[in-house]
Amino acid sequence: MTEITAVRRSDAPASRGRTTVADVVVEKIAGMAARDVRGVYALGSGFARSMGSMRERMSGAGSGKSATRGVSVEVGEKQAAIDLEIVVDYGVSITDVAGEVRENVISAVERMAGREVVEVNLMVSDVKLPDEEDEGEERQRIQ
């Protein structure tokens, strides 16, 4: 009969090895979490959104809106810092929207990426007025 000896390790399987999370992953998570907040019209400045629209229309440039437009991050092994540039809807409380964006982004990044978010800096670069055309409406008129 062959004797089998069990090898026991003191560390759990989840702690054996290293997990690296790319900056772009955290940027996408933060961008999506910020967009989910009511009162956030868009991310990025008007100029960045315009350039993104032009890029989307060019063949071979990819499709859909950039998930990372208006988002900048610094990601370390355990922590992340996030900068967001947002456009808010006219009539909303900017301070309330900013607080909700911070809560949503911190919760999403910490849950999904496992990084402690040390700060979420927001810059409100514009306000979407009710009588302004959406980028999509303008694009349809130009074609």
Q: What is the pLDDT of residue 139?
A: 46
Q: Are strands 40-43 and 79-89 parallel, antiparallel or unpaired?
A: antiparallel
Q: What is the pLDDT of residue 11?
A: 74
| pTM higher than the cut 0.85 | no
pLDDT tens string 18-76: 888 999 999 999 999 999 999 999 999 865 445 454 455 545 555 445 778 999 999 99
pLDDT tens string 83-101: 999 999 999 999 999 999 9
Q: What is the pLDDT of residue 134?
A: 65
Decide if 20 contacts 114 (C-beta within 8 A): no
Q: What is the pLDDT of residue 132?
A: 81
Give the Cα separation of 68 and 113 in Å (integer).
16
Give the Cα separation of 27 and 73 in Å (integer).
6
Per-residue pLDDT band at 113 (split at 50, 70, 90): very high
